[in-house]
């Protein structure tokens, strides 16, 4: 049994993306913070998991945000051996700004923390940079360079096409991400190739 886990800050468009990618009906527009458990979907013999959104949510107190973060960390620790990869969904427009705000306060931004935590666990992470449609085309390279830099990679972002995929879940522009996931699946199904 193999599993792909989707994580992301609340409101990044994770549900929209999962619906686009795998056609499953992910509950969208539910009250933030209500889903405190992973949601599972079966896709062939693949298990696809939707983790609760983390970070700030209107009407959800800080304690609860911490609990969600801890739940996510524990989930990966407990299930690491069967997890093929994680898809971390981030918001193209706000990612760098949020990271910088936390860093300036001397804190580790939760997205960066989870990203390096997964790396330490040996779980491959694909970063899906969503809502790319909100960025003018001429600014996209700059925005994507800023994002990879904050995740610890050297720009240009195009050097990291094996783990970063600018997407628009809303517009259905998810082809590169789809390809990266297919590559992952192919690798396990034909381990000798
Ligand atoms: P979740 O909380 O991460 O599951 O986010 P949702 O899938 O519920 O989406 C949150 C909001 O972002 C909704 O209003 C979506 O329509 C919007 N959204 C999702 N994907 C995109 C995208 O690619 N571009 C834009 N502009 N908006 C998006």
CA-168 nearest atom, ligand 1? 23
Alpha carbon of 13 to ligand 1 centroid (Å): 3
Exposed e or buried b per residue across 131-148, where buried means at least 16 C-beta atoms within 10 angstroms of its C-beta? bbbebeeeeeeebbbbbb
pLDDT of 136 above 60 = yes
pLDDT digits (tens, 9 = 90+) for 5-49: 999 999 999 999 999 998 876 665 555 555 578 999 988 889 999
**Cα-based angle 45, 111, 66 (whole degrees, multiple of 5):** 90
- Residue 158: the pLDDT is 98
Question: Beta-carbon neighbour count of residue 60 at 10 Å?
Answer: 18
Question: What is the average pLDDT score of the chain?
Answer: 92
Within 10 angstroms of residue 75's Cβ, the number of other Cβ atoms is: 18
Looking at per-residue pLDDT, the higher value among 66 and 45 belongs to 66
Nearest C-alpha to atom 15 of ligand 1 is from which residue? 13
DSSP letter (8 states) at residue 12? S
Q: Which atom of ligand 1 is nearest to the CA of 10?
A: 2
CA dist 152 and 87 (Å) reads 17
Q: How many whole angstroms separate alpha carbon 146 and alpha carbon 33?
A: 29
Q: What is the pTM of this model?
A: 0.94
Atom 22 (ligand 1) nearest CA: 131
Tell me the average pLDDT across 117-145. 98
Task: Dig out the tokens for 7 from the structure.
Answer: 């994580």
- What pLDDT score does 185 carry? 92
Query: Which pLDDT value is given to residue 187?
Result: 86
| Alpha-carbon distance values, 54 to 35, 108, 111 (Å) | 11, 14, 9
Residue 131 CB–ligand 1 contact under 6 Å: yes
Is the confidence at residue 135, as pLDDT, over 70? yes
**Confidence grade of residue 112 (pLDDT, cut at 50, 70, 90):** very high
Q: What is the ipTM of this complex?
A: 0.99
CATH of domain 2-189: 3.40.50.300
Ligand 1 mutation target, pool 170, 172, 174, most atoms within 8 A of CB: 170
Of the pLDDT bands very low, low, confident and very high (cuts 50, 70, 90), residue 192 is: low
- pLDDT at residue 62 is higher than 90: no
Q: Residue 63 and residue 71: Cα distance in Å, rounded?
A: 12
| Residue ranges covered by each domain of the chain | 2-189
Does 49 sit in the ligand 1 pocket, CB within 6 Å? no
Give per-residue pLDDT as tens, 151-182: 999 999 999 999 999 999 999 999 999 999 99
Helix (H) or strand (E) holding 115, with range, is helix 110-121
């Amino acid at each position: 049994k193999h599993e792909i886990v989707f994580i992301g800050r609340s409101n990044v468009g994770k549900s929209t993306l999962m619906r686009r990618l795998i056609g499953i009906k992910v509950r969208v527009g539910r009250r933030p913070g209500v889903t405190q458990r992973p949601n599972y979907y079966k896709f062939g013999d693949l298990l696809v998991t939707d983790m609760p959104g983390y970070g700030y949510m209107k009407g959800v107190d800080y304690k609860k945000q911490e609990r969600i973060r801890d739940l996510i960390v524990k989930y990966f620790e407990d299930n690491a051996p069967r997890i093929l990869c994680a898809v971390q969904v981030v918001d193209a427009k706000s990612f760098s700004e949020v990271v910088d705000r936390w860093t300036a306060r001397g804190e580790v931004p939760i997205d960066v923390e989870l990203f390096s935590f997964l790396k330490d666990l040996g779980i491959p992470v694909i970063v899906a940079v969503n809502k790319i449609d909100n960025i003018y085309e001429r600014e996209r390279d700059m925005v994507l360079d800023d994002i990879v830099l904050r995740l610890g990679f050297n720009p240009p972002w195009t050097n990291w096409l094996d783990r970063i995929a600018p997407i628009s879940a809303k517009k259905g522009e998810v082809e590169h991400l789809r390809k990266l996931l297919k590559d992952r699946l192919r690798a396990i199904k034909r381990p000798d190739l």
